[in-house]
Amino acid sequence: MLTNAPGITKPLETSTTIAVGNKLNLSIGASNFSKYQWRLKICTSLSPLTFDGNWAVPITANGIIYTGVNTPNLIVTGLPVVTNYYEFQCVLTSSCTNTPSYINKIKVYVNDPLQISARHDTETGVSELMDQSLLFKVYPNPSLGIFELSMNDASQSADYTVFTIDGKVLRQGEIINGKATLNLTDTKPGMYFIKLLKEKEGSVQRLIEKNL
């Protein structure tokens, strides 16, 4: 079975990363194919996503919901965090030979932004998860877009990064002498994350921006 073939106008990316709880959308652009079959590989186990005759009906397995398993567009919700990655494959059947003739693969990594928080000892190489509120406080939270950042040690300074639930960086800045004001009024209401880094320590908290 080929891993590259004519008729593919938009192949899958090599890999992608989503935050846990987010919806995964996979789309392949192709012509001259009569059948699409998505399947899932975890480690060495490969399982076709079965089809009940109506592609619009979601298929649920182990709490994961798949929609469009026999179309060019697959939607997956409920993927849990795994230690390595998921490999999704789309097998295409040629309309000329009516036999499977092309396979396209993508690695999908699922992470939990709140599990980024850890204390790391550079001498021993040992990391351990921390209390998310150990380094700083955020208030008010929820907010209309203005957040006050306050470190538990008021004499300290630290760098921070604000990012979306899918990992896109929105802001980077510095807390000086234990305090800073974060303005997110130019972003859409929703949930964001702020990660604070200070020497060997890091901490992540949720930011909730609400509507007026």
Q: What is the pLDDT of residues 185-200, one digit of tens each?
A: 999 888 888 888 776 6
Query: How many whole angstroms separate alpha carbon 185 and alpha carbon 183?
Result: 6
Residues of the chain with CATH 2.60.40.3080: 113-209
User: Which class is 113-209 in CATH?
Assistant: mainly beta
Separation CA 50–CA 75 (nearest Å): 14
**Where are the CATH 2.60.40.10 domain residues in the chain?**
8-111
Class of domain 8-111: mainly beta
**Distant-in-sequence contacts of 138-142, Cβ < 8 A, 24+ apart:** 138/194, 138/205, 138/207, 141/205, 141/206, 141/207, 141/208, 142/208, 142/209, 142/210
Q: What is the pLDDT of residues 58-111, one digit of tens each?
A: 677 667 888 888 889 999 988 877 767 888 988 888 776 666 678 889 998 887
Helices (H) and strands (E) in the chain — how many of each?
0, 20
Distance (Å, whole) CA 5 – CA 2: 7
Distance CA 82, CA 86 (A): 8
User: Residues 142-169: pLDDT tens digits?
Assistant: 899 999 999 888 888 888 889 887 677 8
